[in-house]
Amino acid sequence: MKSSHPRLSQSKPPQSGPPLSNSAQPEAYQSDSCHSKTWFPESWQTCRLSQQAHYADLKLLDKTIQELSQLPPLVSVQEIEELKTKIASAAKGDSFVLQGGDCAELFSDCNAEVITDKLKILLQMSLILVYGLNKPVVKIGRMAGQYAKPRSAETETINGLSLPCYRGDLINGVEFTPEQRQPDPKRLLKGYSFASLTLNYLRTLLDNHFGDLSNVDNWDLDFVAHSSRAREYHEILDKLKYSQSVIENLTLQTNTASAKDKIYTCHEALHLHYEQALTRQCDRGRWYNLSTHMPWIGMRTSQLDSAHVEYMRGIENPVAIKIGPSMSAEQLLDLVNILDPNNCPGRLTLITRFGEQKIQQLLPAMICLIQKEGRTPLWCCDPMHGNTSITSHGRKTRRFDAIINELTKAFQIHQNLGSHLGGVHFELTGENVTECVGGARGLTELDLQKAYKSLVDPRLNAEQALEIAILITRLNQPS
Ligand code: PEP
Ligand code: CO
C-alpha cells in the first residue's frame, strides 16, 4: 500500500495522476472548473475552501501532516467495501441504517464508560429496530473521529475580548483563553490517537461478544432502567429471547445468538488536511480514506465548487451529504453527478435535515428529481439539525416533538412517492444528559440546566433515543 504525500502549498497534479478506478472515480466533471481536473488527494487545495482553522505555524502543520500520513490506517478497505454493500441493501429497502453519536466527540470522553454507554444505546436501538422492522440494522457510530466542527462565526466575543471560535478538539480547546483557542496542529495527532483508542475499545468489546444477543442483559443503562421505555424495551427483549429459543429447539442448535456484531464509524470530513493525510492508495490504485468507514460532507461545505466536494469525489468510501433548506433539487442533482457519476450501489447517502416546518415543502421535489434521473442513493433523515432552537435562557435545545414530526413526515413523504427512507441520523449519547426538551419524562427548559454537557449541539439522552427507536418501528409499518 502506498501512502499519500500531502502537501500544504497549492499543489499541482502529479505528472501522471493516480490511476482512477471505474466505480466511484468520476470522469472529469465538465460544468464546473474545480472538478474538471484530474483528482489526487491534494487536488482540493485549488478549490474554494471554507470552515478551516487558521494556523499560525504552517511549518508545524506541514510537519504534522507528514507525520500523520506515515501512521497506520484506522479502518480497512474490506470493512469499507462491506459497509458499501450494506448501504446498497438499505437503499433497496432490505435493511435499515442507524447512524448516531455525539455532535462533537471530546478527547476527554475517550474513556471506557462513555464509549461503552454509547455502544449500549446504539445496540439497544438497533435491537428494537431489528425486531420492529424485521430487517438487518446497519449501525454507524458518529464515533472515533467526530472531532471537527463547522461554525457559523469565526470569532466569539466575551467582555470585549474576541477569540477564535471553538472548532472541535481536533483544532482548538473550548476554554476561552487565547492559548486554548489558538488552533494547534499537534491536536491532529492527538485526534488520530483518540480515534484509534476509541476504535480499539469498540473492537475489543465486540470481539468479546459484547454485542451478541446472548449478552443483552449487560446493555441496560442504570438511569433508564425504571422508565416506561425500558419496560417496552424489555418486553421486546423477552419476545426476542423466546423466538430464539423456539429456533434453537426447532433446529436443535444452541447458541444461535452468538454471531459477532459489527459497528462502523463515520465523521464529518471537515478538516481536509487530516482527511488527506489518512487517504491511501490501495488495491488497483484506488484511493480510500482510511480514517473512517463513511465520511460525510456537512451542510456548510457542500457547495458545488467546494474543496470538500472535490476531496470526496475521488475516494472510494461510501460518502454522505447533509442536505439543508438552502439546497435546490437541481443543485443536489449536480452534486450527485459529481460524487457518484456512475450510480454505484452504496456509494451515496443523502441525509436530509430540513426541519419539521420545511420538509414538506422541500423533500418531495428532490425525491422526484432523483427518481426521474434513475439514481438510487440511500435516503436518510436527520431530524436533529433543522430543529434547533434557543431557550429563553439562551441554551441551544431541540424539542422532542419537532424531531418526531420531521421523522414522521420523512417516512410519509417517501412512502407517498414510492421512495424509501432507509436510514436515520441522530445526535445522541448513552449518558444521562438533559439537552433536548420533551420525551417520555417530559423534560422542560428548566430541566436543561441539570445535565447539559454538549459543547455544541443538544443530544438525545438514552431514554429519548429508545423512545424514538420504538416510534420508528411504528412509523415504518407497511401501509
Ligand atoms: C452535524 O452533523 O453536527 C452538523 C453540523 O450537521 P449539518 O452539516 O447538517 O449542519
Ligand atoms: Co451537530
Taking CA 412 as the corner, what is the angle to CA 435 and CA 416, rounded to the nearest 5 degrees? 160
Output the CA 208–ligand 2 centroid distance in Å. 31
Q: Please, what is the angle between helix 359-372 and helix 329-339, to 10°?
A: 50
Best probe residue, ligand 1, of 51, 143, 268 (max atoms within 8 Å of C-beta): 268
Higher pLDDT, 290 or 440: 290
Tell me: pLDDT of 66 over 50. yes
Confidence of residue 258 (pLDDT cuts 50, 70, 90): low
List beta partners, residue 264. Answer: 140
Rounded to the nearest angstrom, the gap between the alpha carbon of residue 44 and the centroid of all alpha carbons in its chain is: 21
Q: Tell me: the pLDDT tens digits for 161-174?
A: 999 999 999 999 99
Output the CA 233–ligand 2 centroid distance in Å. 27
Confidence of residue 42 (pLDDT cuts 50, 70, 90): very high
Best probe residue, ligand 1, of 140, 299, 349, 354 (max atoms within 8 Å of C-beta): 299
Q: Tell me: the pLDDT tens digits for 196-242?
A: 999 999 999 999 989 988 888 889 887 777 788 888 888 988 988 88
Mean model confidence pLDDT for the chain? 91
Output the CA 374–ligand 2 centroid distance in Å. 31
Map grid coordinates 410519509 to a residue.
412
Q: Tell me: the pLDDT tens digits for 381-437?
A: 999 999 999 998 899 999 999 999 999 999 999 999 999 999 999 999 998 899 999
Map grid coordinates 420538509 to a residue.
359
Ligand nearest, relative to CA of residue 296: 1
CB 293 near ligand 1, within 6 Å? no
With 0-12 / 13-18 / 19 or more C-beta atoms within 10 angstroms meaning exposed / middle / buried, residue 255 is exposed
Tell me: pLDDT of 16 over 70. no
CB 267 near ligand 1, within 6 Å? no
Pairing of strands 279-281, 2-3: antiparallel
435 dihedral zone (left: phi>0; alpha: psi -120 to 50; beta) = alpha
CA-CA distance, 446 to 437, in Å (whole number)?
A: 9
Of all residues in the chain, what percent carry a pLDDT higher than 90? 78
User: Domain locations in the chain?
Assistant: 39-475
* Residue type at position 412: Q
Mean pLDDT of all residues in 364-378:
98
Ligand nearest, relative to CA of residue 167: 1
Q: Does domain 39-475 have CATH number 3.20.20.70?
A: yes
Taking CA 233 as the corner, what is the angle to CA 420 and CA 207, rounded to the nearest 5 degrees? 80
CB 353 near ligand 1, within 6 Å? yes
Ligand nearest, relative to CA of residue 325: 1
DSSP string covering 336-392: HHHH-TT--TTSEEEEE---TTTHHHHHHHHHHHHHHTT--PEEEE--STT-EEE-T
Confidence of residue 369 (pLDDT cuts 50, 70, 90): very high
Q: Which helix (H) or strand (E) holds 423?
A: strand 421-427
Query: What is the structure's pLDDT at 7?
Result: 40
Tell me: pLDDT of 24 over 50. no
DSSP string covering 261-298: P--EEEEE---HHHHHHTEEE-GGG-EEETT-SEEEE-
Output the CA 253–ligand 1 centroid distance in Å. 46
CB 101 near ligand 1, within 6 Å? no
Q: What are the grid coordinates assigned to 405, written together?
A: 414530526
CB 150 near ligand 1, within 6 Å? yes
Output the CA 384–ligand 1 centroid distance in Å. 9
CA-CA distance, 397 to 385, in Å (whole number)?
A: 10
CA-CA distance, 179 to 56, in Å (whole number)?
A: 12
Output the CA 86–ligand 1 centroid distance in Å. 23
Of all residues in the chain, what percent carry a pLDDT higher than 70? 91
CB 385 near ligand 1, within 6 Å? yes
Q: Tell me: the pLDDT tens digits for 329-350?
A: 999 999 999 999 999 999 999 9
Cα distances (angstroms) measured from residue 103 to each of 65, 146, 169, 211, 415: 25, 8, 12, 23, 29
SS3 label, residue 452: coil
CA-CA distance, 195 to 106, in Å (whole number)?
A: 10
CB 322 near ligand 1, within 6 Å? yes
